[in-house]
Amino acid sequence: MEDDSISSRSTLSLLSEAEAPQAPESLSASPNGNALFVNRELSQLEFNRRVLMQAADPDTPLLERLRFLCIFSSNLDEFYEIRVAGLKEQCLVQSPVSGPDGLSPQTLYDLVNARVRELVALQYQMFNDVLIPALAAEQVCFLRRPSWNAAQAEWIREYFFNELMPVLTPIGLDPAHPFPRVLNKSLNFAVELEGKDAFGRRSGNAIVQAPRALPRVIALPPEVAGCRHGFVFLSSILHAHVCELFNGMTVRGCYQFRVTRNSELFVDEEEIKNLREALQGELPQRHFGDALRLEVADNCPPAVTLFLQQQFGLSATEVFSVNGPVNLVRMLQVPEQVDRPDLKYPPFRPGLPKCLQQQSDMFRAIGDGDILLHHPFQSFAPVVDFVRQAAQDPDVVAIRQTVYRAGHDSVLLSALTEAARKGKEVTAVVELLARFDEEANIGWAAQLEEAGAHVVYGVVGYKAHAKMVLVVRRESGRLRHYAHLGTGNYHSQTTRFYTDFGLMTCNPEITQDIANVFAQLTGLGQISKTAHVWQSPFTMHKSLLQAIRREAEHAKAGRKGWIIAKMNALLEPGLIQALYEASREGVRVDLIVRGACALRPGVAGLSDNITVRSVIGRFLEHSRIFYFYNDKAEDVMLSSADWMGRNLFRRIEVCFPVLDPRLKKRVIGEGLKPYLNDKRDAWEMEPTGSYRRRRSRQGESAQSMLLASLT
C-alpha cells in the first residue's frame, strides 16, 4: 500500500494532521465512559472532518474543494442546530448520562466545543493558505480591500449605493433601541461609533443586519476585476462604506458576527388537534431559538466580543473567532457562477437499465420483471414516468405515496395532484416533521387536499420515513398492484447527488406487504403479518437481530458466516452488541458506514473480525444495504432505515428483499463490493473511533467505477 505524493506542502501538512489517529482518550475519556461504544456526537464530528479533508485533497477538482469546504460549514451548522442544541439542554437539566457511551452531557459538551474549535481553525487555514491562492492562480480571485485599485473601488462604491445601502437598516443601541433580534445564521455587523447623532444621542454602538436576500459574494465584471472571475465579499463592501450609514459620526470599528440557534421545533403531538396548523405557527420561531454558538471576526476587540457574548447568553467556550468570512457556507454560490468545467467534476448522463431503453410503458416493463435503479448513476426519470403514467392511465384506480423530502418544485407530487384532480383515489402520507422540509411539505399537503387527495400525516409519535409508491391498476378484470420502494427520498434534485437504490416490482407478496403498511398508516387496525417486508417499529429490529444471530450460529457450526451492511449511521446498542457477539463466533463483518458509528472495530477479543469503512466522494453515500451470507443463500435487503434507535423504534420504515437473483447480484456487485475494494475515497475506522485514509496510487474509487460502468 502506497500513499499518494502531494505537491503542496501546506496541503500535505493539513492532510497529515487530519489523518493522524486521535488519542483514544479523546473519544472515551470519562470516569463512567463505556469503552464498548464510541460517542455519537464525536463520531459525527469525525465524519465532518472527513468531509473537510475532501477540500484538502489535491485530487479533488479545485472548485469542488471549495464546495466541500462549504458543505463542512453547512454540516456544522446543522450539527449545532440539532445535536448540540439537545446536548446543551441535557446540560441545563443536569442529565447524568447522554448515551450508551457513558459520557456525561457536560463532559461531552466540552469535548465537542474543543473538537469543533480545532476543525474550524483547520478549515480557515485551508481556506486562506491553500484554496484562495490556488483559485487565484486559476483566475478565480477574491479581492480584498487593501488590494482594490481605483476602478474596483469605484465599481464597489456604486454597488454599495445602488444595491446595498437602500436595503440596510442600521440600528443604534440605546434605551429606545435595544439589541435587535438576530436571525439564526444571518450575517450581522457590530459597529463602534463616536460622536452624536441627529438627535444628540451618544450610543457608541450599532448593529447592521445584512438582508438574507443579498448575495454574500458579488461578482465583478472581468474588465474591472482584472481577472476572468473576480469576487468581492459583501462584508468587505460594507466595511469599506459603513461610515455612509452613520452620517456625521465617526466609525471606530466594524466587526462581522453570526449566531447559530436551536432549530428544533417544539410541537406536542399529543396535545394538538391539527398538526399542520401547529407547525405553521411554530416555523417562524425557528429562526429565534436559543443561541448556541457565536462566530466573530478575529479582529473583533475583546470588549465587543464580550458584549455580543452577553447579549446572546453564551459562555466563552461557545464563542469562535475566525480568520475570514463568518458565513463560509454562502460561498456555495461561487462554483455555480464560475464557468470552468476543468475545475469541476466532469458532467455525466445517468444511464437506464436495458429493460427500459426500448420500453417506455412502465407497467409493461415492470410486469416483465423487477427493475432495479441505482442512483445517481442511473436516472430517476423512470420513477417520475411511473407516477406520471399512473396519473394518466384510465386503468389506474388508486395511487398511494409517502412524502418525506420532495422539495418545493416536485414533478412527482405535481403528478400526484393531477391524478387526484382526474378522480383517482390518491392517498399521500406526508411527514410534516421532516426536519427543514416542513414548509415545503405543508405546501404540498394543502395542494393535494385541494385537489381531492386523502392526506394523512402518519402516526403520532412516529415519523413516516419509508419511501414507497403503490399503484393499483385494473387489468383483465382484476386489480394488480405495482410498487416502487427506495432507500432515498422522492426528491428529483437530490437523486443527482445521493447514491440510492430503488426497486420497482409487481411481486404480489411484496406489494401486498406494502399495501398492509399503507393501511396501518391511514387506518387504525392492528399490525398485519408481512411475507417479506420488515417494518419499523414492529419487526425490523427483531428481524435484523435474528439475521445477525443466524450468521453467528452458522459460524459456530463451522460454516461460513459473513455480514455486509452499508448505511448512513450505526448507533443502536442492541445491534452493536449482536455484531460483537457474531464477531466472537467468527463471523466476518464488513460495515460501510458513511457517518456516525458507535461500534469499535478491530478490538482484540471483542470485534477482531469487524471492519468499518466510510466512503466520502463526489456523491453523498445514502443507500442502505444489508447482506447476510446465510449458508450460501446470500440474502440481500434494501431499506429506508439506518441502524439507529430512532429508525428502528420511533419511525415508520421498511426493509425489503431483492428476490430476483440477477438483481441481487447487481446490488452486491454495485452497492457493496466496489466499496469494500475502494482505495481512493475510503477511510478505515480505528478502534479509537478515529479514521485513517489508506490510499493506493493504483486505486480506483467505487463511485468512479460505477460512473464508468453505468452511465
DSSP 604-616: TTTSTTEEEEEE-
The string of DSSP codes covering 64-77 is HHHHHHHHHHHHHH
User: Does 1 score more than 50 pLDDT?
Assistant: no
- Given pLDDT bands bounded at 50, 70 and 90, which one contains residue 32? very low
pLDDT digit string, tens, across residues 367-421 = 999 999 999 999 999 999 999 999 999 999 999 999 888 777 789 889 999 999 9
- Using an 8 Å Cβ cutoff, are 405 and 491 in contact? yes
Kindly state whether residues 514 and 558 are assigned to the same domain.
no
CA atoms within 13 A on the CB side of 245: 29
- Using an 8 Å Cβ cutoff, are 614 and 690 in contact? no
Kindly state whether residues 334 and 370 are assigned to the same domain.
no
Closest CA to 668 of 564, 581, 527: 564
Residue 141 within a domain: no
Residue 379 within a domain: yes
Q: What is the pLDDT of residue 266?
A: 54
Identify the residue with better confidence: 278 or 532: 532
Kindly state whether residues 181 and 315 are assigned to the same domain.
yes
pLDDT digit string, tens, across residues 493-525 = 889 999 999 999 999 999 999 999 999 888 867
Identify the residue with better confidence: 532 or 15: 532
276 vs 450: CA distance, rounded Å: 15
> 491 an active-site residue?
no
Q: Which of 342, 376, 395 is the last residue of a domain?
A: 342
Q: What is the pLDDT of residue 461?
A: 79
584 vs 156: CA distance, rounded Å: 67
Residue 155 within a domain: no
Closest CA to 496 of 617, 642, 620: 620
Task: Tally helices (H) and strands (E) across the chain.
Answer: 25, 27
Mean pLDDT of the 136-165 span:
96
421 vs 705: CA distance, rounded Å: 44
567 vs 671: CA distance, rounded Å: 11
Kindly state whether residues 415 and 497 are assigned to the same domain.
yes
Q: Do the annotations mark residue 435 as ligand-binding?
A: yes
Q: What are phi and psi of 7, to 5 degrees?
A: -70, -35
User: Does 324 score more than 90 pLDDT?
Assistant: yes
Closest CA to 428 of 406, 402, 392, 390: 402
- Using an 8 Å Cβ cutoff, are 540 and 465 in contact? no
Closest CA to 642 of 487, 520, 514: 487
User: Does 347 score more than 60 pLDDT?
Assistant: yes
- Given pLDDT bands bounded at 50, 70 and 90, which one contains residue 97? confident
609 vs 604: CA distance, rounded Å: 9
Kindly state whether residues 664 and 588 are assigned to the same domain.
yes
Q: What is the pLDDT of residue 274?
A: 54
Torsion, CA 217, CA 220, CA 226, CA 227, rounded to 10:
60
Kindly state whether residues 127 and 190 are assigned to the same domain.
no
Q: Do the annotations mark residue 124 as ligand-binding?
A: no
% of the chain surpassing 70 pLDDT: 89
Q: What is the pLDDT of residue 491?
A: 87
Q: What is the pLDDT of residue 463?
A: 86
Kindly state whether residues 102 and 201 are assigned to the same domain.
no
Of the candidates 229, 241, 375, 465, the residue annotated as catalytic is 465
User: Does 187 score more than 80 pLDDT?
Assistant: yes
3-state secondary structure 444-492: HHHHHHHCCCEEECCECCEEECCCEEEEEEEECCEEEEEEEEECCCCCC
425 vs 423: CA distance, rounded Å: 7
Q: What are phi and psi of 632, to 5 degrees?
A: 80, -5
CB burial class (10 A; 0-12, 13-18, 19+) of residue 161? exposed
Q: Do the annotations mark residue 441 as ligand-binding?
A: no
% of the chain surpassing 90 pLDDT: 73
Q: What is the pLDDT of residue 333?
A: 93
Residue 641 CB coordination number (10 Å) = 26
Residue 487 within a domain: yes
pLDDT digit string, tens, across residues 104-117 = 999 999 999 999 99
User: Does 201 score more than 70 pLDDT?
Assistant: no
Cell of 607: 470485534
- Using an 8 Å Cβ cutoff, are 575 and 545 in contact? yes
Domains contained in the chain, number? 4
469 vs 646: CA distance, rounded Å: 23
Q: What is the pTM of this model?
A: 0.90
User: Does 264 score more than 90 pLDDT?
Assistant: no
Mean pLDDT of the 442-449 span:
82
Burial 30-51 (b: 16+ CB within 10 A, else e): beebbebbbbbbbbbbbbbbbb
The CATH number of the domain holding residue 35 is 1.20.58.310
472 vs 424: CA distance, rounded Å: 10
Q: Do the annotations mark residue 323 as ligand-binding?
A: no
Q: Do the annotations mark residue 627 as ligand-binding?
A: no
Q: What is the pLDDT of residue 108?
A: 94
The CATH number of the domain holding residue 434 is 3.30.870.10
Kindly state whether residues 577 and 610 are assigned to the same domain.
yes
Q: What is the pLDDT of residue 21?
A: 37
Q: What is the pLDDT of residue 78?
A: 93
Kindly state whether residues 72 and 210 are assigned to the same domain.
no
Residue 465 within a domain: yes
Give Cα 165 to chain centroid, integer Å: 35
Non-local (6+) Cβ contacts of 5 within 8 A are: none
User: Does 437 score more than 80 pLDDT?
Assistant: no
Q: What is the pLDDT of residue 3?
A: 36
Kindly state whether residues 16 and 127 are assigned to the same domain.
yes
Residue 425 within a domain: yes
User: Does 583 score more than 60 pLDDT?
Assistant: yes
Helix (H, G, I), strand (E, B) or coil at 172: strand
Identify the residue with better confidence: 156 or 442: 156
Mean predicted lDDT score pLDDT of the chain: 89
User: Does 442 score more than 80 pLDDT?
Assistant: no
Residue 140 within a domain: no
- Using an 8 Å Cβ cutoff, are 453 and 375 in contact? no
User: Does 295 score more than 80 pLDDT?
Assistant: yes
Kindly state whether residues 487 and 386 are assigned to the same domain.
yes
Residue 642 within a domain: yes
Q: Which of 529, 547, 575 is the last residue of a domain?
A: 529
User: Does 8 score more than 60 pLDDT?
Assistant: no
Q: Do the annotations mark residue 276 as ligand-binding?
A: no
Kindly state whether residues 370 and 323 are assigned to the same domain.
no
User: Does 16 score more than 50 pLDDT?
Assistant: no
Mean pLDDT of the 66-71 span:
97
Q: What are phi and psi of 169, to 5 degrees?
A: -130, 90
User: Does 567 score more than 50 pLDDT?
Assistant: yes
Helix (H, G, I), strand (E, B) or coil at 297: strand
Q: What is the pLDDT of residue 12?
A: 41
Distances (CA, A) of 634 to 172, 194, 372, 556, 667: 69, 75, 18, 18, 11
User: Does 641 score more than 90 pLDDT?
Assistant: yes
pLDDT digit string, tens, across residues 599-627 = 999 999 999 999 999 999 999 999 999 99
The string of DSSP codes covering 340-402 is -GGGSPPP---B--HHHHS---HHHHHHTS-EEEEETTB-SHHHHHHHHHHHH-TTEEEEEEE
CB burial class (10 A; 0-12, 13-18, 19+) of residue 690? buried
Give the structural domain span for 626. Answer: 535-710
Burial 252-280 (b: 16+ CB within 10 A, else e): ebbbbbbbbbbbebebeeeeeeebbebbe
